Amino acid sequence: MRLLVLLFALAMPVVSWLSQSGAFGPDNGTISDRYPTLLVAAGYAFSIWGLIFLLDVVYGIWQATGRRRADPLLDRIAPATAAGFALTALWMPLFSQGLFWLCLLVIFGALASLAWAALQLSRAAPVEGGRLWAWLPLSLHAGWLSLAAFLNLAQVALAYGWTRPEAQLGASLLLFAIAAMVLLELNRRMRGNPAYVAAALWGLVAVWMKQSQSTLPGAQTAAWVAALIAAILLLQTVWLRWQRPRGLVAGDVRTLP
C-alpha cells in the first residue's frame, strides 16, 4: 500500500500536465469558464495545486523510506491516502470530458479520504511527533479540496440547469453555508490545523477577489460572504490554537530520522 501512495502521488502531477496540455480534451480552465458561478475563485488560486502536488510527492517518497516504513499510523492512513491521490488524479480527465456527475463523486470521495487522513495525523502528531512531512501535505490537500469540492458542485449545478446564470445567489449562499460548516467542523476536529486553514483561506480570498470584480448578479454579496467565512475560520483557528496546551502542536516539526 505504501508503494501505491507513492505511485499515485507521482501520477497526480503527470495527469495534471497531460490535462493542461489538452490530452484529455479542453483544459480545466476552459471548461470552468463555460460555467461562471458565484463560488469560482480567481485563476491564480489554482496554482496551489503545484505546491500540493510537490509536497504530496515528497510525502510519497518520505513515507516509503527509512524508519517511516514501520510507523503504524502511516500504515493505517495509507489506503485512504492512496485513494485520495488516485481520485484527485482521476478527477482531471473526467472534468475535461465533461463527466460532471462522476466528477462530483470523485472529488467528494477524495475530500473524504484525505480529510480523514489529515484528521488522524492532526490528532496523533501532537502526542507522538515526527510526522511533519505527512501532516503538512495531506492537510493542505484536504483544505483545498474542502473548498474546491463546493466550487465544483456549483459549476455542476449550472451545467445541468439546476441554477441559472442570472439567478444563482440563493443556491450559492446555501453552498457557502455548507462549505463553511464543513471547514469549521473539520478544523475543530483537527484542533485548529494551520495548514488546512491556510489552503482554505487561499481559496476564499481568491473567491472574494474574483466575485468582487464579477458582473454576475449577486457577485458582490458572494464576495463578502467568502470574506466573512475566511474571517470566521481564521478567528476559530486562533481560538483553537490558543486553547491548546503548550507543546501540543499539530504538525510537530520533529521528524523521524
Confidence of residue 252 (pLDDT cuts 50, 70, 90): very low
pLDDT-derived band at 29, boundaries 50, 70, 90: confident
Whether 187 maps to a domain, the answer reads yes
pLDDT band at 200 (very low <50, low <70, confident <90, very high): very high
Name which residue leads in pLDDT, 28 or 180. Answer: 180
**How does pLDDT run across 111-158, given as a tens digit for each residue?**
999 999 999 998 875 445 568 889 999 999 999 999 999 999 999 999
In this structure, which amino acid lies at residue 187? N
Q: At what angle do helices 132-159 and 48-63 cross, to 10 degrees?
A: 140
Spell out the long-range contacts of 121-124 with Cβ–Cβ below 8 A and sequence spacing 24 or more: 121/73, 121/77, 121/250, 121/251, 122/189, 122/190, 122/191, 122/193, 122/196, 122/250, 122/251, 123/190, 123/191, 124/73
Average pLDDT over residues 221-232: 97
Q: What share of the chain in percent tops pLDDT 70?
A: 93
Residue 251 lies in a domain: no
Number of domains in the chain: 1
3-state secondary structure 134-202: HHHHHHHHHHHHHHHHHHHHHHHHHHCCCCECCECHHHHHHHHHHHHHHHHHHHHHCCCCHHHHHHHHH
pLDDT of 256 reads 38
pLDDT of residue 27: 83
pLDDT of residue 246: 54
The answer as to whether 233 is a domain residue is: yes
Averaged confidence pLDDT in the chain: 90
Domain encompassing residue 128: 2-243
Does some domain include residue 31? yes
**Residue at 250 is within a domain:** no
| This model's pTM is above 0.85 | yes
pLDDT in tens, 156-187: 999 898 888 888 999 999 999 999 999 999 99
User: Is 85 within the bounds of a domain?
Assistant: yes
Measured from the Cβ of residue 42, the count of other Cβ atoms closer than 10 Å reads 16
